């Protein structure tokens, strides 16, 4: 019998973790509170595994069997540097505890997931002086999960700068990965090393610096994912945007305008304090990457594209399909018809190739058993759940 790994997908959004886990994985349960995202989830994946509603309303009776993985991409706004800094006490990010209640209750039923991935913004590592990250790690360790983690930037795989923290926990006895003794600066940057260095002894003893290979060379830049029939701004609008740039960013435009080839850049709005006053600025980059996509409420929710060269400057907004491509979604993926809903979906999502990379090099090697063992364990625990 073919090996199959089963997963629960919490805070599922449009199912980007599901797409990244497609090879050799099967979704047993998915949940999201946002009804618009649930509709897109149904359109792309069907709704038989989907629980649309507040995670606080989910009970263990809704969770079939014993999963190999529980994936949780809980709301990030309260951890984000652009957010309010409330951390786990915030109105959005505190829903983590509703998810965690389910994990502890599954443990009481002897159905605790074999592994857990908690994905969030890099601000999780420093939120409230590092206390939030330590609190989450403590919760996993108390439930007998061995811990490790990575900071993975989606820019290794897609033309978008999007660093994210992936906290990984394997239940004692469930991890086949070799032990490592040292951090890798690429995947375990100083901000993560500093966070772990502040752990109390029992947490530090529970932490593992698991390895990841070097990423493959990214095969696309920002220019490669652009649609050819998008509508460009008027000359007046483009000049207005350039007028919102400081001298450093205007020079980036001027340096390229007379080139014989076109340079494609991404620009976004930033609020800067200049001479004691807050001013909104446009900042542009020409490194082949878009800035990190955000939801429509964020300053970089819909970035501006600049095309500069051969004596002209053009500008326009990113399209919904382009944001989906920046998340690694294929053009066959169905997007909301409303542009703002599409931007919300992408801004809240997970870069699909990052999930694929983590699953291929960490999750699957750690968890894979023989097909008969996996199937028997799933069926046994599915029956236990129904008892």
Per-residue pLDDT of the chain (387 residues; tens, 9 = 90+): 347 899 999 999 999 999 999 889 999 999 999 999 999 999 999 999 999 999 999 999 999 999 999 999 977 454 455 544 555 554 545 789 999 999 999 999 999 999 999 999 999 999 888 899 999 999 999 999 999 999 999 999 999 999 999 999 999 999 989 888 899 999 999 999 999 999 999 999 999 999 999 999 999 999 999 999 999 999 999 999 999 999 999 999 999 999 999 999 999 888 888 888 898 999 999 999 999 998 776 444 579 999 999 999 999 999 999 999 999 999 999 999 999 999 999 999 999 999 999 999 999 999 986 444 444 444 444 444 443
Torsion of CA 114, 174, 136, 55, to 10 degrees: 0
Query: Of 163, 156, 117, 124, which is closest to residue 140 (Cα–Cα)?
Result: 117
Which H/E stretch holds residue 117? Answer: strand 115-121
Q: Distance (Å, rounded) from C-alpha 133 to C-alpha 18?
A: 25
What strand order describes the sheet that includes 304-309?
Answer: 277-285, 263-274, 304-309, 312-317
Distance CA 167, CA 358 (A): 11
Position of tokens 């100083």? Answer: 190
**Around Cβ 89, how many Cβ atoms within 10 Å?**
12
User: Where in the chain do CATH 3.40.50.150 domains reside?
Assistant: 5-216+346-386
Q: What is the largest CA-CA distance in the chain?
A: 73
Q: What is the pLDDT of residue 93?
A: 56
Let me know how long the chain is.
387
What count of other Cβ atoms lies within 10 Å of the Cβ of residue 235? 12
Q: Give the separation between CA 319 and CA 195, rounded to whole angstroms.
A: 37
Q: Where do the H-state alpha helices sit in the chain?
A: 16-20, 35-45, 96-108, 131-142, 190-197, 201-206, 235-243, 247-254, 320-326, 339-347, 352-358, 364-367, 371-386
d(CA 146, CA 169): 5
CB 351 within 8 A of CB 18: no
Tokens of 207: 């932490």
Give CA–CA dist 24/375, Å, rounded. Answer: 13
* Eight-state DSSP code of residue 303: P
- Residue 327 CA, chain-centre distance (Å), reads 9
Which backbone phi and psi does 344 adopt, to 5 degrees? Answer: -60, -45
Q: Is residue 173 classed as helix, strand or coil in its secondary structure?
A: coil
The answer to whether the CB of 68 falls within 8 A of the CB of 27 is no
- List own/partner pairs for 272-280 with CB under 8 A and 24 or more apart: 272/246, 274/246, 280/244
- Contact yes or no for 29/49 (Cβ under 8 A): yes
pLDDT given at position 182:
92
- Architecture per CATH, domain 5-216+346-386, reads as 3-Layer(aba) Sandwich (3.40)
Tell me the Cα Rg of the chain. 22
CA pair distance 52, 40, nearest whole angstrom: 12
DSSP string of 47-106, one letter each residue: STTEEES-GGG--GGGS-S--SEEEE----TTTSTTS-S-GGGSTTGGGHHHHHHHHHHH
Helices 339-347 & 35-45, crossing angle to 10 degrees?
80
How far apart are alpha carbons 345 and 15 in whole angstroms? 10
Terminal Cα-to-Cα distance of the chain (whole angstroms) = 26
């Amino acid at each position: 019998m073919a090996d199959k790994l089963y997963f629960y997908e919490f805070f599922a959004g449009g199912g980007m973790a599901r797409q990244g886990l497609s090879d050799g994985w099967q979704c047993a349960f998915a949940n999201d509170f946002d009804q618009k995202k649930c509709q897109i989830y149904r359109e792309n994946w069907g709704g038989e595994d989907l629980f649309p509603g507040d995670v606080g309303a989910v009970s263990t009776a809704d969770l079939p069997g014993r999963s190999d993985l529980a994936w949780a991409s809980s709301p990030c706004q309260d951890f984000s540097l652009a957010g309010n800094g409330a951390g786990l006490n915030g109105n959005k990010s505190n829903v983590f505890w509703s998810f965690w209640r389910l994990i502890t209750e599954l443990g009481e039923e002897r159905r605790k997931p074999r592994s857990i991935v908690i994905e969030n913004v890099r601000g999780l590592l420093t939120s409230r002086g590092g206390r939030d990250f330590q609190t989450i790690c403590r919760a996993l360790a108390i439930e007998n999960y061995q811990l490790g983690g990575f900071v993975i930037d989606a820019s290794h795989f897609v033309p978008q700068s999007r660093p994210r923290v992936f906290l990984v926990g394997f239940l004692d006895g469930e991890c086949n990965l070799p032990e490592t003794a040292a951090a890798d600066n690429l995947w375990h940057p100083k901000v993560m090393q500093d966070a772990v260095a502040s752990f109390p002894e029992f947490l530090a003893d529970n932490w593992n610096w698991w390895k990841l290979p070097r990423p493959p060379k990214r095969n696309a830049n920002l220019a490669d994912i652009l649609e050819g029939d998008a509508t460009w701004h008027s000359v007046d609008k483009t000049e207005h945007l350039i007028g919102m740039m400081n001298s450093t960013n205007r020079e980036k435009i001027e340096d390229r305008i007379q080139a014989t080839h076109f340079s494609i850049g991404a620009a976004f709005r930033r609020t800067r304090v200049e001479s004691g006053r807050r001013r909104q600025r446009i900042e542009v980059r020409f490194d082949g990457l878009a800035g990190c996509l955000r939801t429509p409420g964020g300053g970089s929710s819909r970035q501006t594209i600049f095309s500069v060269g051969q004596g002209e400057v053009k500008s326009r907004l990113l399209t919904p399909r382009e944001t989906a491509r920046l998340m690694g979604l294929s053009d066959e993926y169905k997007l909301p018809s409303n542009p703002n809903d599409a931007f919300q979906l992408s801004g809240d999502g997970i870069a699909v190739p990052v999930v694929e990379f983590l699953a291929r090099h960490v999750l699957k090697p750690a968890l894979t058993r023989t097909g008969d063992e996996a199937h028997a364990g799933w069926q046994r625990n599915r029956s236990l759940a129904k008892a």
